[in-house]
Amino acid sequence: MVLTVLRSLGRPALAMLRGIGAVALFAARGLTRLRPFPGRALAQQIIQIGWLSLPVVGLTALFTGAALALQIHSGGARFQASDVVPAIVAIGMVRELGPVLGGLMVAARVASSIAAEIGTMRVTEQIDALVTLSTDPLRWLVTPRLWAAILSLPILVAVGDIIGIMGGWLVGTTSLGFTSARYIADSWAYLEGWDVLSGLIKGAVFGLVVALSGCWFGMRCARGAAGVGRATTSAVVAAAVGILAANFVLTGLFFR
């Protein structure tokens, strides 16, 4: 009975470790296949992942900053602390909300797109054709997407931080009684360089998580339209959960 229990616990644990190792090796291979350098493919993916994601990230940050300002002012009024709205909005956006919400929005848009595109290539045997022609699929399909996401997400996070703080400023100056000069001064006074840098580092990690999820499930896509659908769904779910888990780990490392 003891051996049966140990086997029932050991099999899932070993399967999980094998899965983690396989994903880690896949990521390492995808990040290091840089010769010849896929410059054109990288530029195309930066446009697809970064530039085309800017509207949804900007709108999300704008409404989040505005709603955060309203909530902090309403809650702070109970403790005569409503004056801290600019500082908390700025710190909350650059440390947590900007990177996390930006990563989740990009995950919803990009991870599904990558998984569907690569999964369709797998189903239609285009990837098998590349292998037959002695062309490395990782170099041309995975590497540009991984590096494009790593480079694009910090820029999106920075833009989202600025727009989110602007959303808080807009609400603060029109509805909460702050003057523009005071709101900007309070926001700037309480921000530190590490607050901003930590958010940008999170953005780079989240970008890796998003692109890696899309590429991994796309490359392992099962045959048929149903396989593409499952790969797309799995990629989005894995990217979202991975972003939240990575955020917890990074926050513990940065601000313990």
- For residue 251, give every residue at least 6 positions away whose Cβ sits within 8 Å of its Cβ, in sequence order, or none: 95, 96
171: nearest Cα among 85, 79, 232: 85
pLDDT of residue 7: 75
What are the tokens at 35? 């010769």
Percentage of residues of the chain with pLDDT beyond 70: 100
What are the tokens at 165? 């703080």
Q: Where are the beta strands (DSSP E) in 76-222?
A: none
**Residue-range domain boundaries for the chain:** 38-247
Name the 3-class secondary structure at 129: helix
Distance, CA of 242 to chain centre? 9
Using CA atoms, how far residue 160 sits from 153, 192, 221, 236, in Å, is: 10, 17, 33, 21
115 neighbors 218 (Cβ within 8 angstroms): yes
Chain segment 214-238, per-residue pLDDT in tens:
999 999 988 888 889 999 999 999 9
- For residue 104, give every residue at least 6 positions away whose Cβ sits within 8 Å of its Cβ, in sequence order, or none: 240, 243
Question: What band does 131 get if pLDDT is binned at 50, 70 and 90?
Answer: confident
Chain segment 46-98, per-residue pLDDT in tens:
999 999 999 999 999 999 999 999 999 888 777 777 788 899 999 999 999 99
Using CA atoms, how far residue 116 sits from 132, 217, 220, in Å, is: 22, 9, 11
What is d(CA 164, CA 147) in angstroms, rounded to the nearest whole number? 26
Phi, psi of 211, deg, nearest 5: -65, -40
What are the tokens at 9? 């616990």
pLDDT of residue 15: 85
247: nearest Cα among 105, 88, 98: 98
The DSSP symbol for 242 reads H
56 neighbors 156 (Cβ within 8 angstroms): no
Instruction: Report the amino acid identity of residue 105.
Output: M
Instruction: Give the relative orientation of helices 193-219 and 2-32 as an angle to the nearest 10 degrees.
Output: 100
211 neighbors 149 (Cβ within 8 angstroms): yes
Percentage of residues of the chain with pLDDT beyond 90: 66
Chain segment 56-67, per-residue pLDDT in tens:
999 999 999 999
120 neighbors 229 (Cβ within 8 angstroms): no
145: nearest Cα among 216, 85, 231: 216
pLDDT of residue 54: 94
Q: How many CB atoms lie within 10 A of CB 76?
A: 15
Phi, psi of 221, deg, nearest 5: -65, 140
200 neighbors 158 (Cβ within 8 angstroms): yes
